[in-house]
Structure 1
Amino acid sequence: MAALLALLPLATLLSAAVVLRPRDEETPQRHRLAIIRAALAVGAGAVLSVELLSLAGAVARGPVIALWAIAAVVTGYLAWRRRPADWQAPWPPLYLAIPVALLVLAELVLALASAPNNFDSNSYHLPKIEHWIANGDLGNYATFQIQQLILVPGAEFLLLHLRLLTGDDGLFNLLQWGAGLLGAVALSRCAAQLGAGRIGQWLAAAVFLTAPAVVLESTSTQNDLVVVAWVTCAATIALNKSPRISDALALAAAAGLVTVTKSTGLMALAPVLIFWGIAQLRQKAIKATLSVAGLVIAAMLLLAGPSFLRVHDAFGSPLGPEDYRVGLSTQRHDPPAILVNGLRLGASTLLTPVPAVNEAVGKAVIGVAHLVDVDPNDPAITQWKSVFPGTRWKPDEDRSPYPIQSALVLLGLAVGLFVPRTRWYAAMVLGAFLLTAAVVKWQDWGNRLILPAFALAVPLAGVWLERISKRKIVAAGVALVMAAAFAHAAAAVLLGQPRRLIGQGSVFTVDDWQERFARMPAQAASYRTAIDEVRASGARRVGLVVEGDLWEYPVQIELRDTELVSLLTGTPAVPAASVFSVDAVICFSSADLCRRAVPADWRYRQIDPLVATAFPPA
């Protein structure tokens, strides 16, 4: 019954699409624009509602159910009043639509069958949701894992709604799955706006959906596809080049949602906004441009401002501690450094199963770096754990390359710069790539961080592929390339990590607990032992010692009726709980740190090198 409540947001979205349906476009684009407008409206409403509930200390199941019930009824009534006389969609080319549909269906099966098991999600994306529910608001709390506080929480706000509606995390993976579909809808519309026909539009969607990084993330609780969806929605609205209030509101909502979801999206969003602004100025719509610019800034402040204020209250800066920012963002912004960083980011997406090819590409990039006198692993442009060139080509959610799709996109960008109809859009995409290279350090898991810029370039690939496919012999070559793309995508969904449909470790052959620990299999039994010991003790208030990237989320979902508090804090304004105020302690840390946190006379048990429990004297 609880899972049925998740249909309330879906019903609201579908009704909103009918309500927000434009009347003055061709049928195919009208339908897609309606979906995009509805997604932006519902997404912005979901974010704002969480902030408002937090102000009232009412982040709880009852208020969220009531809000969605009201939203579904109101939008449903408005949709009935504005129901279309017909809703005809164009027939897709079956040779593209069928493999796309099969791929998306396989992802849906995997998303529904999988428990959240991504490393970052267990470390900081999902624990913050449980903290919000326990506290009843979004206020800062004591935690040693400050990523829970300093990273913008837009995707987690949407997951919070699902968590409160359904009572668990069983449907969490559907957010990214849906975001991937929304991104494909927006990108196919971008391709149409750039002059692509029906085939080019489907090719654009296929290039995006077959990228292994997209396939793998579509079944996870990361947030990269969510920010990609909002960036691509902004792009298709910007391509309207219209000063209409409906487009202005949609563009503002998209900008606000990008800002509150992930900072990497801003490097792609900025060129989109500049592109739209230049288009308006070329039409001499100066007043409209200034008005929309003010609206965009207002939406960004409204949706993301409260989150930045909370971070500022905790750390004295809306961007968090300086050392954390330095670890992820580049410190060099000179042209040679940007060039080398951009080449490394691009080369990492092009990794293949052929070592000789990877070695040649890596050597070429290193050669350019030496030529412009830049250390290819300069710490100012390289994340501290990473060493270029990487060799990780296998389908892994955090690191998977997408060589076929990346090559098609880069060629489409190069061609697009010289085609009159697409040159301004291509220049915008190039700006997104350069800005990303200027800000994001190269790292082993950078392939997913540059997805927003990659996605913006996808429509150019669709336009280019359709144009060259008009000759039969070339069309056959394009068909072979796309077949290889689908094969790579199928391998990702069937055999990818940390979730796979078949083979050893398939989601159908391991239990839920083992699946959750796919990234830390050695700790699954130890976590279970610690949780069972605390549950058997009858402890009502439990202190946690969590170090580094180790996980508190498994304890949160297993001990939901227990008050969990942190005995360590990296939040300057919020002190940690006293060990003498708890009935038990669970440590996920080094033994030395745990021993320091627990009084000497407590009963202490080291379950494994990273997991321990402690209880006060009888």
Structure 2
Amino acid sequence: MIFLIPLAIWLSTVNCYLAFYKDALQSFRRSLLTAATGIFFFIAAATELLSAVNLINTVSVSSAWIILNVFLIFWYQNLKSRQEGEIWQTARSWVLSSRAFLKNLGALTQGILFTLSGITFLVAVIAPPNNMDALSYHLSRLGYWIQNGNVEHYASHIERAISFSPFSEYIHLHTFLLLGNERVFQLVQWLCLAGILAYISLLVELFSGTRSAMRIALCFAATLPIVVLESMTTQNDLVVAFFILASAFYVFDYAKNRSRSALILLVLSVSLGMMTKGTFVFYALPFGLYLFFFMFFRQDLRKSLAYAVAYLTLGVLWINMPFWLRTYELFQTPIGTVTNGNKNDFGNPAGFISSVSKHTFLHLGFISPQNRYNAFMEAQLKSIHEAVGVPLHESGYGMDFKMNKLNFNEDFAHNFIGMLLILLSLPLLLLTNISRNARWYAGLAFASFLVFCLFISYQVYGSRLHIPFFLLISPVIGLVYSSVLKFVLTRFLLIILWICALPFALLSVTHPLLSTRWFFEKIFPVINSGFHLNINTDNLLNLKQESILYSSPEKIIWGDNWIEIQSLKYFVDSLQARKIGFDFTEASLDYGYQYILRAPERHFEHIAVRNASSKLENPAFVPDCIISEHDEGSVFSYHGKIYFKKWSGTFRWIYVPEKYNQTLPK
């Protein structure tokens, strides 16, 4: 039934084209992006409505998509009869406009975009999800939602699974119920990146950029290391970036064209962005304030402003309120409590300077002989902190700072060349001749980064949280550098970006297309010793992985722990356990256990929960065995029933009821 989703997207795109964009510029891209936003809103609304009546299951979700497609077909018939527009005519128009767009990109840009997108698409489809956050909380919630028939909160040792915004997982929920497996999970972020590139192209054209500006902007965005890596995962930073870029585009689209549809799409984008990730607010806030004052200071737009504010409030509350209420009832706050450690202590202006500098320097580290470059850069950062009177590792301003070298992990990779180009663009902005709207946009993009740094403290994995900023600034990078670089230098820049991005597409440490073991055992030692880099990889086993082409899905998910987990699986299966209790830590790979233990009529629940969600535990749940990541001793009592330790791993134990204690070998 998974075909229902692309069918709905195609029908929506055709309908949007016929209804709104047939005679407009950029008709295909605008139609597709509008359709995608509408489909996303349908997923969010349908999930909450079905959940309210406990109908989160394959039949109900499939029925919802069938109803949507039937509606879209009838809408198309109505549009066709009124406008005499046939699908084949629409398709022909799209082909012609796509050819013209690709011609403007040029062969080099096409080659860069298609090679990177082709490699990441292949990895996203072949490899099962194995990102740490995905296995811990992004995907783990799906199993419990399906079991319970709703998306209500449940007892969980992993607070992030019941307090972090859920929209990306709603998409995964629908695809899983329609397809029956995880095969397309990682395509969500890949497709969102494609949508982001479309928005970047529209922004460049909105600011009257040249073909050179378009090429630089798109290649800058598509070759960012953290973006390349995340496009192959089930995290949600590219999903939220899609809505941030959409919001920024519709703000400036309305400012230029006064289109009512831009305001409607802005309302939908903001509502969905807030449902995706909390960082949406920080990056979108400057653009929202710009539009507010833009409309407020124009007498003829104040009525439209009042309507926009009212519809925005209703849209945000209608789509987000159910989740916020569930979270508030549990944690007495609608945003949960696990993010408290990431908040900045922004009462001191010096702390803001500390935050901005550390977030910036996070991307400026690199490998060098004897690590001299990083030592020099860290000394400069310490000098900045000494000048403002804040210690570099001051509590209240984030984690202890650490200069990056070179990392192929989607949680820690940084954007060295990207940040250099951004910093160099600051003085160039004063010298280049770009439009007034483009300068406003550039100012707001930089302001969004400052707002983020004001509220969110430095974290070693902050690079992925910066993704929206790097993508927001991409049109500016295109406009600035296209105005100062000649044709040959532009091509040279694009080739450098491409060459530097390819290793991240091919050698991701979590799911490499090429074997990272081969690279780090055969190639890297020569480089390491030849340039005196002094990088020790002996204890970094996650750097040395086999290609996903030759690894089993279970091995890809569990890595070097798979042998032990395989033994755990055989033991649990030998019990013929139908009800399995999880006694986990906050960082447990919950979905990894679900993946290898999933079976018909098998039921999972968290037990002996140690946080506020313990009140949601089911007192009638009597597990056939308990998988624990806490050593509860030789005997474990749960709900008045005695369980005995009968299997032990490195940091895992299995407890069984008394009836098995005498029959099973230790």
Task: Give the TM interval when normalised to the shorter protein.
Answer: over 0.9
Q: Is the 8 A contact 1:541 1:584 kept in 2?
A: yes
Cα deviation, 1:473-510, whole Å, max 9, x if unaligned, reads xx333322221211121100111121111013210121
The one-letter code matched in structure 2 to 1:18 is V
C-alpha separation in 2, matches of 1:108 and 1:126? 20
Give the stretch that moved more between structures: 18-27 or 287-296: 18-27
Specify whether residues 272 and 7 from structure 1 end up closer, same or farther in structure 2 by C-alpha distance, changes over 3 A only. farther
Q: Letter of the 1:20 partner, please give it.
A: C
2:465 corresponds to 1:449: yes
| Structure 2: stretches of 5+ with no match in the other structure | 518-545, 660-666
CA distances 1:528-575 after superposition (whole Å, capped 9, x unpaired): 222221222122212111112012212323224311121122234624
| Structure 2 residue aligned with 1:152 | 165
Match of 2:460, SS? coil
Q: Which secondary structure does the structure 2 equivalent of 1:586 belong to?
A: strand
Amino acid at match of 1:508: L
Deviation of 1:333 after TM superposition, in Å, equals: 4.3
What corresponds to 1:532 in structure 2?
570
Paired residue for 1:16? 12
TM-score w.r.t. length of structure 2 = 0.86
Select 2:401's aligned residue among 388, 398, 401: 388
Aligned partner of 1:400 in structure 2 is 413
d(CA) in 1 for partners of 2:474, 2:39: 25
Deviation (angstroms), 1:417: 6.3
Contact 2:217 2:474 in 1 (8 A): yes
**1:195 counterpart residue number:** 208
Partners of 2:212 and 2:203 lie apart in 1 by: 13
Structure 2: distance between partners of 1:42 and 1:580: 38
Pairing of 1:319-330 with structure 2 (within 5 A): 319-321=335-337, 324-330=338-344
Give the 3-state SS of the residue equivalent to 2:130 in structure 1.
Answer: coil
Q: CA RMSD in A?
A: 2.1
1:229 aligns with 2:242: yes
Q: Is the 8 A contact 1:237 1:247 kept in 2?
A: yes
Residues of 2 paired with 1:371 and 1:46: CA distance? 51
**Distance across 1 between alignment mates of 2:73 and 2:373:** 55
Q: In structure 1, what is the equivalent of residue 625 of structure 2? A: 584
* Structure 1 residues 243 and 309: CA distance shift in structure 2, 3 A: farther
Which residue identity does 1:171 align to in structure 2?
V
- CA distance, structure 1, for counterparts of residue 412 and residue 36 of structure 2: 28
Listed as ranges, the matches of 1:27-426 within 5 Å are 27=25, 29-79=26-76, 81=80, 82=85, 83=87, 85=90, 86-87=93-94, 88-89=96-97, 90=100, 91=103, 92-240=105-253, 241=255, 242-284=257-299, 285-321=301-337, 324-354=338-368, 355-383=371-399, 387-416=400-429, 419-421=434-436, 422-426=438-442
**Code of the aligned partner of 1:114:** A
- Code of the residue aligned with 1:31 in structure 2: it is F
CA shift for structure 1 position 175: 0.4
Per-residue CA deviation, residues 13-60 of structure 1 (Å, 9 max, x unaligned), is 122122223437753x23222222111111111111100000111000
Tell me which residue corresponds to 2:598: 559
Aligned-pair distance for 1:607?
A: 2.3
CA distance in 1, matches of 2:350, 2:635: 49
Report the 3-state secondary structure (helix = DSSP H, G, I; strand = E; otherwise coil) of the residue aligned with 1:508.
Answer: helix
Judged with a 3 Å threshold, the aligned counterparts in structure 2 of structure 1 residues 118 and 260 are, in CA distance, closer, same or farther, namely same
How far did 1:450 drift?
1.4
C-alpha deviation, 1:392, in angstroms = 4.2
**Displacement of 1:173 after TM fit?**
0.5
Q: SS in structure 2 opposite 1:109?
A: helix
Judged with a 3 Å threshold, the aligned counterparts in structure 2 of structure 1 residues 413 and 288 are, in CA distance, closer, same or farther, namely farther
Alignment counterpart, residue 545 of structure 1, candidates 566, 569, 583: 583
Instruction: Give the partner amino acid of 2:205.
Output: A
Structure 2 CA distance, aligned partners of 1:594 and 1:313?
36
| Superposed displacement of residue 135, structure 1 | 0.3
Give the stretch that moved more between structures: 266-275 or 416-425.
416-425
Change (3 A) 1:300 1:266: same
Q: 1:596 to 1:337 in 2, by over 3 A?
A: farther
The 3 A distance-change label for structure 1 pair 597 and 96 is farther
Check whether the contact 1:116–1:220 (CA below 8 A) recurs between aligned residues: yes
Match of 2:32, as an amino acid?
I
In 1, are the aligned partners of 2:295 and 2:305 still within 8 Å (CA)?
Answer: yes
Match of 1:495 in 2: 507
- Hey, what's the Cα distance between the residues in 2 that align with 1:489 and 1:234? 27
Q: CA 1:282/1:191 → structure 2, altered by over 3 Å: closer, same or farther?
A: farther
Superposition TM-score, scaled by structure 1 size: 0.92
8 A contact 1:123–1:552 mirrored in 2: yes
Q: CA deviation at 1:272?
A: 1.7
- Give the secondary-structure state (helix, strand or coil) at the position aligned to 1:591: coil
1:480 aligns with 2:492: yes
Instruction: Quickly say closer, same or farther: Cα 1:333–1:596, change in 2 above 3 A.
Output: farther
**Alpha-carbon deviation of 1:605?**
2.6
Give CA-to-partner distance per residue, 1:374-418, whole Å, 9 cap, x none. 1222221113xxx21332422211010111222223434554467
- Tell me, yes or no, if the aligned pair for 2:225 and 2:413 is still in contact at 8 Å: yes
Instruction: Give the conservation status (yes or no) of the 8 Å contact 1:275–1:425.
Output: no
Change (3 A) 1:176 1:417: farther
Q: Structure 1 pair 335/30, CA: closer, same or farther in 2 (3 Å)?
A: farther
Counterpart residue identity of residue 374, structure 2? N
Moved more, 54-63 or 234-243: 234-243
Report the residue type matching 1:23 in the other structure.
Y
Question: Which residue pairs with 1:6 in the alignment?
Answer: 2
Cα distance change, pair 392–595 in 1 and its aligned pair in 2 (3 A): farther
Would the aligned equivalents of 2:364 and 2:420 in 1 still touch at CA under 8 Å?
yes
Q: Distance in 1 between matches of 2:237 and 2:150?
A: 25
Deviation at 1:314, TM superposition (A): 0.9
Report if the CA contact (8 A) 1:541-1:563 is conserved.
yes
Shift of 1:152: 0.6
- For the structure 1 residues 592 and 350, does the alpha-carbon distance in structure 2 shift closer, same or farther, using more than 3 Å as the test? same
Counterpart of 2:469, as a letter, is: A
